[in-house]
């Protein structure tokens, strides 16, 4: 079956522009997560969606970052007015029910480069 997919795989943008990153989770998975992987910060949690509950946004680094999940499936991570420090690989993961001990399946990531 299909795994987690992310698009685009690579994105190069200019400082100050807005970008949207897309994640298609595994069908039937109720929980969806965004993480960021960068040289300076390692792997960081950004945001988590579980069913119809309010998302856990505690990892978003600034108010330039936002995410939504439409229809309990596809998610879009939006970064407004991008900065060079936003350059990183953005990873999406999904799991069933999201109760901590469930495996999170990761997508291949979107590599964002801000010039």
Partner 1 sequence: AQSVTQLGSHVSVSEGALVLLRCNYSSSVPPYLFWYVQYPNQGLQLLLKYTSAATLVKGINGFEAEFKKSETSFHLTKPSAHMSDAAEYFCAVSDRGTDKLIFGTGTRLQVFP
* Positions in the binding site for partner 1 (CB under 8 A): 4, 31, 33, 35, 42-45, 48, 50, 56, 59, 91, 93, 95, 98-109
Cβ nearer to partner 1, comparing 45 with 80: 45
Cβ nearer to partner 1, comparing 27 with 58: 58
**Minimum distance from CB of 99 to partner 1 (Å)?**
7
- Measured on CA atoms in the order 95, 61, 78, 107, is the torsion positive or negative? negative
């Amino acid at each position: 079956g299909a795994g987690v997919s992310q698009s685009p795989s690579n994105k190069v943008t200019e400082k100050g522009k807005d970008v949207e990153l897309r994640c298609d989770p595994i069908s039937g998975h109720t929980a969806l997560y965004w993480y960021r992987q960068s040289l300076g910060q390692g792997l960081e949690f950004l945001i988590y969606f579980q069913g119809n509950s309010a998302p856990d946004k505690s990892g978003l680094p600034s108010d330039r970052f936002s995410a939504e999940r439409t229809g309990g499936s596809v998610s879009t991570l939006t970064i407004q007015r991008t900065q060079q420090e936003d350059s990183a690989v953005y990873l999406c993961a999904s799991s069933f029910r999201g109760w901590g001990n469930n495996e999170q399946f990761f997508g291949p990531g979107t590599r964002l480069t801000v010039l």
